[in-house]
Amino acid sequence: MSTRYALAAAALASTLAISPAIATAAPPAPESPAPAPSAPAPAAKHQLTGYWQNFVNNAKPLKVSDISPAYDIVALAFANADPAKPGAVTFGVDPKLSEALGGYTDADLKADIAAQKAAGRTFVLSVGGELGNVDLGSETNVANFVDSVGKILTEFGLDGLDIDLEHGLNVPNTASAIRQLRDRAGDGFRLTMAPQTLDVQPGGRYLELIEQVKDLITVVHTQYYNSGSMNGCDGGVHSQGSVDFITAQACTLLKTLRPDQVSLGLPASPSAAGSGYVDPPVITAALDCLTSATNCGQYKPERGHPELSGVMTWSINWDATSGDAFSKPVRAHLDSLP
C-alpha cells in the first residue's frame, strides 16, 4: 500500500489485467436493497480513515499525537507475523520509527492512543499489508491469532481489527477468528477491511468473507489503486484513475452491505502507491455520484446512498508529507455531504 511495495504493486497491476473472457459485458444487474444487519458504527456520519505507518520510508514519520484531526479512524499498520508461533502476530513501535522520532516508545504510543480515543477517534490494528503473511490455515493457528490480537488490543487500548491480508486468505478460518475476537471484545468491537479490487469482484475471496461477517463489519474500504482494469456492476470494464472505476465497483459492495459500511480507498499522493492516484476532485465527484447520483461519469446509480461511509487513504504519513493535500479537501467535502 506504500512505495515500500512499489515493485509488488506494479506486478499486481499486471496480473490483475482483465482477460477478454472476463471482460465480456454482462447485462447490468439491478440494485437491490442492502441488508440491514446490526453492527457498531463510529459516531461521524461520513468518515475519513487513514493508515498510520509503523515503519520508515520516504513518507514523513509521525507520532500518533501528530495525526491530522481530519481523520476519524486510524489503522495502525501493521502487526507482524510472530515467527515463533504460527498464526500469532506481534506489535510495537518499530525501532527505526522510534529512532526517527527521537525515541518514541510503546508507552508513548499507548498514551497518544488513549488521548486520541478520548477525543472520539477510533483505532484498529491492521493485519497484513502487501508484505504481511499471517497463516490462519489451522485451528491452532487461529487460536494463536485470536490470543495474540486480543492481547494487543487490550494492551494498546485499541477498538478492533483491520483485515488487510493479501496472501492466501483462508475465508472460514478468518471469519472464525473475527467472531472469536468480537466475542472477547464485546459490542464495541470495530471491524474494517481493505480488500484489493479483484477480491471484491463477484466470486472474490473477500466478498465471500464479507458475506460471512457482514453483521460485524464497521466499514470496508476497497483499494481502488495498484489495480488493473476491472468489471463494473454496469457491465462495463473500467480503468483505474476515473470516477467510473470507483463508482461502478463500489456498487457491488452496496448490494451486499449497508451504505454506511462502504468506503472508498485511494492513495494520499502519487508517491503513496504504484498506480491509481487520482486528484481529490475525482474522489469528491465519486462521492457525489454515490451519495446523490450527481457528478457521475458514464455510470450513474439508480439512486444515491447518502449514508455512504466515506473515504480511506494510504497513508496518513504520505498525506502529511504533502501538507495534508489529500485530507483537507476530502474532509471538507465529506463534511458538506448530507
- List the catalytic residues: 166
The answer to whether 129 touches 166, Cβ cutoff 8 Å, is yes
Q: What are phi and psi of 89, to 5 degrees?
A: -130, 160
Nearest to 264 by CA among 273, 256, 274, 254: 254
- On the CB side of 319, how many CA atoms lie within 13 Å of its CA? 29
Helix (H) / strand (E) element for 161: namely strand 160-165
Cα angle value 312/313/314 (rounded, 5°): 140
At 256 the three-state DSSP class reads: coil
The answer to whether 272 touches 325, Cβ cutoff 8 Å, is no
**Cell matching residue 247:** 463508482
At 320 the three-state DSSP class reads: helix
The answer to whether 132 touches 126, Cβ cutoff 8 Å, is no
The residue whose grid cell reads 466470486 is 203
The answer to whether 216 touches 263, Cβ cutoff 8 Å, is no
